[in-house]
Structure 1
Amino acid sequence: MGSVGTLPARAAGVRLADAVRVFLGTISAANTRRAYAAALDRMVRDFGADGDVGLLDPDRVSGWFDFVWGGKAPKTYNLRLTAVSTACAYWRDQEWLTGDPVSRLRARPTAPDNSRAMTAAEVEELLGTAAPLREQVFWSMLYESAARAGEILNLDIEDLDTVNRCATVTRKGGARDVVDWQTGTARLLPRLMAGRKKGPLFLTDRKAKPSIAKADTDGSTGRARLSYRRAAALLEEHTAGMRRGPFTLHQLRHSRLTHAAEKGASTPMLMALSGHTSVRSLVKYAKVSAEALGRWQAQTDPAARRHSR
Structure 2
Amino acid sequence: MNYKAKTILHKGTPRIAVYFEKNAALIARIKTFEDARWSASKQYWHLPDTAANRLHFKLPLAHTLVPNAEGIASIETFKRYLLSKRYSPNTINTYSDALKSFLTFCNTKALKDINNQDVIAYNNDYILKNKFSSSFQNQTVNAIKLFFKIVKETSIETDKIHRPKREKVLPNVLSKEEVFRILDATENLKHRTLLALVYSAGLRISEALEMKPKDIDSIRMLIHVKNAKGKKDRYTLLSEKVLLLLREYYMVYKPKEYLFEGQFGGMYSSRSAQIVLKKAAERAGIKKSITLHTLRHSFATHLLESGTDLRYIQDLLGHSSPKTTMIYTHVSNDSLKKIKNPFDV
Scaled by the length of structure 2, what TM-score is found? 0.46
* Separation (CA, whole Å) in 2 of partners of 1:118 and 1:182: 19
Displacement of 1:135 after TM fit? 1.4
Displacement of 1:289 after TM fit? 3.5
SS of the residue corresponding to residue 235 of structure 2 reads strand
Query: In the alignment, is the contact (CA less than 8 A) between 1:142 and 1:253 conserved in 2?
Result: yes
Residue number among 210, 213, 217 corresponding to 1:157 in the alignment: 213
Query: In the alignment, is the contact (CA less than 8 A) between 2:170 and 2:331 conserved in 1?
Result: no
- Counting only pairs closer than 5 Å after superposition, residues 159-308 of structure 1 correspond to structure 2 as 159-169=215-225, 170-194=227-251, 196=254, 198-204=256-262, 206-207=263-264, 223-241=265-283, 242-290=285-333, 292-293=334-335, 295-297=337-339
* Separation (CA, whole Å) in 1 of partners of 2:255 and 2:189: 18
SS of the residue corresponding to residue 236 of structure 2 reads strand
* Separation (CA, whole Å) in 2 of partners of 1:125 and 1:279: 31
Query: In the alignment, is the contact (CA less than 8 A) between 1:156 and 1:201 conserved in 2?
Result: yes
The one-letter code of the counterpart of 2:339 is Q
Deviations 1:30-60 (CA, angstroms, capped at 9, x unpaired) = xxxxxxxxxxxxxxxxxxxxxxxxxxxxxxx
* Separation (CA, whole Å) in 1 of partners of 2:282 and 2:171: 18
Quickly say closer, same or farther: Cα 1:114–1:149, change in 2 above 3 A.
farther
- Counting only pairs closer than 5 Å after superposition, residues 120-159 of structure 1 correspond to structure 2 as 120-159=176-215
SS of the residue corresponding to residue 117 of structure 1 reads coil
* Separation (CA, whole Å) in 1 of partners of 2:246 and 2:170: 27
* Count of matched residue positions in the alignment of Structure 1 and Structure 2: 176
Deviations 1:95-152 (CA, angstroms, capped at 9, x unpaired) = xxxxxxxxxxxxxxx99x8711111210121223342111111111111111211111
The one-letter code of the counterpart of 2:220 is N
Displacement of 1:246 after TM fit? 4.9
Query: Going by fraction, where is strand more abundant, 1 or 2?
Result: 2
- The sequence identity of aligned pairs, in percent, is 23
* Separation (CA, whole Å) in 2 of partners of 1:144 and 1:293: 23
* Separation (CA, whole Å) in 2 of partners of 1:131 and 1:114: 31
Displacement of 1:244 after TM fit? 2.3
Instruction: Show structure 1 runs of 4+ deviating over 3 A.
Output: 195-198, 292-295
SS of the residue corresponding to residue 320 of structure 2 reads coil
SS of the residue corresponding to residue 231 of structure 2 reads coil
* Alignment gaps of 5+ in structure 2: 1-131, 134-168
* Separation (CA, whole Å) in 2 of partners of 1:186 and 1:165: 9
Quickly say closer, same or farther: Cα 1:114–1:243, change in 2 above 3 A.
same
Scaled by the length of structure 1, what TM-score is found? 0.51
Q: Which structure exhibits the higher relative contact order, with contacts defined as CA atoms closer than 8 Å and separated by 6 or more residues?
A: 1
* Separation (CA, whole Å) in 2 of partners of 1:285 and 1:295: 15
The CA RMSD measured in Å over matched residues stands at 2.9
